[in-house]
A = this chain, B = another copy of it.
Amino acid sequence: MKIETKVEKFNEPLYLESGRLLEKFEIIYETYGELNEDKSNVIVICHALSGSHHAAGRYADEAKPGWWDKFIGDGKAIDTTKYFVICSNNIGSSYGSTNPMSIDPSTKKEYRLKFPVLAISDIVKAQMKLYKRLGISNAVAVIGGSMGGMQALCYAIEYPTFAKEIIALATTAYTRPWAIAFNKIGIEAIRHDPIFKNGNYAKDDLKALGLPGLAIGRMAGLICYLSPNLFNKKFGRDYASTDGLYELFGRFEVEKYLEYNAYSFPKYFDPLSYLYICKTMNIFDAGRNKDKIEDSFDKVQANLHLIAFSDDMLFFPEEMEEIRDIMVKLGRENQVTYKLIQSQSGHDSFLVEVEKFENHVREILKDK
């Protein structure tokens, strides 16, 4: 599989949903496989909150491959011998695309809290400019889970002729207060971390461990990304050490897991970026600026494939069913599929239980 990582710089303004703009912006992106002559074999992959453009393959120095490596590759469900797969790092994210720690051209300093709030539609709009730059005018499919699924829905609604197949996994048409509440823990933990200094943190203060407040936020995320049953199966009531029971800070295995994963996160993720991305997710509403959400979905021309996970505790299957029901109500039952996966890994099932939906996706992409 041919993998390339590139950056495209755009010296033109990106007008945002909020009415504000980014004077210029850049996108780092990765591609897998080869673009065919008539540029008709493109599949777009959209990443989630803490994901990046590195969706597949393994760099020389990496312990783990890209986040959807099980799914994307030669002969895999998203077959890179056939398709040219593009995954962009979302603007706002701190993996290389324009984000709150980028330089604001008007002040020559980092934006920090002066960075504009981005909507999912802004992220997708920036990606569309990338495709235009690459001479790509349409895609076989757009595929994404969680926040990536929000982007997939946005493509379907805002750019109805761009992709023939839209595959949205573990997502929602509008973020409910339950998900907003989980994000709130991170927002408050970051804001009240004394090192954060209202966004004016010294980079050196974050060099070794990152921002502890962000670890607390990540911990809340780790809970809603998994599920009670998975926790039972994975950890039970096992102790990480034998002296743990009557020691105040003696730890259960589940606590050790949360500590390890939460505290490693701020070492590679920027707290301002986290705040902005949470906001982007919180304000996602496919029905915004429409009288009713049906008006948005009425614009869809692609086939819309919804894949929900039975034990998803962040975006519940009912939220995906609601989208299906809207499409059916609009008389679009031939244009929508809904598949409920009997999952055991919670929200993260879209990342780790690929074997449960890869054949479904192969079927969708067959002969396309």
Binding site for B on A (CB under 8 A): 17-20, 113, 116-117, 119, 174-178, 180-182, 184-185, 187-189, 191-192, 194, 212, 215-216, 219-220, 222-223, 227-228, 231-232, 234-237, 245-249, 252-255, 258-259, 262, 275-276, 279, 282-283, 285, 316
Q: With A18-B246, A117-B247, A279-B248 given, is the CB distance from A219 to B178 under 8 Å?
A: no
Query: Which of B178, B216, B316 interacts with A216 by CB under 8 Å?
Result: B216
State A236–B215 Cα separation when bound (angstroms): 28
Chain B residues near A249 (CB, 8 Å)? 187, 191
Query: Which of B20, B177, B212, B253 interacts with A231 by CB under 8 Å?
Result: B177
Q: With A216-B185, A216-B216 given, is the CB distance from A176 to B228 under 8 Å?
A: yes
Chain B residues near A253 (CB, 8 Å)? 177
Q: How far is the CB of A306 from chain B (nearest CB, A)?
A: 19
Task: Please provide the 7 A-B residue pairs with the shortest distance between their CB atoms, ordered closest to farther.
Answer: A18-B246, A177-B254, A177-B231, A178-B228, A177-B235, A117-B246, A192-B212
Q: With A177-B254, A254-B177 given, is the CB distance from A219 to B316 under 8 Å?
A: no
Copies of this protein in the complex: 2
Q: With A177-B252, A248-B275 given, is the CB distance from A223 to B182 under 8 Å?
A: yes
State A219–B259 Cα separation when bound (angstroms): 18
Q: Tell me whether B248 and A276 are in contact (CB under 8 A).
A: yes
Query: Which of B184, B222, B262 interacts with A258 by CB under 8 Å?
Result: B184
Q: How far is the CB of A153 from chain B (nearest CB, A)?
A: 16
Q: How far is the CB of A252 from chain B (nearest CB, A)?
A: 5
Q: With A18-B246, A113-B248, A248-B117 given, is the CB distance from A231 to B184 under 8 Å?
A: no
Q: With A19-B246, A248-B275, A276-B248 given, is the CB distance from A219 to B185 under 8 Å?
A: yes
What would 26 A/B residue contacts be, using CB atoms closer than 8 Å?
A: A18-B246, A20-B246, A174-B237, A176-B228, A176-B231, A177-B231, A177-B237, A177-B252, A178-B223, A178-B228, A180-B252, A180-B255, A184-B259, A185-B185, A185-B216, A185-B219, A188-B219, A188-B259, A189-B189, A189-B216, A192-B215, A216-B216, A228-B316, A237-B285, A245-B283, A248-B276
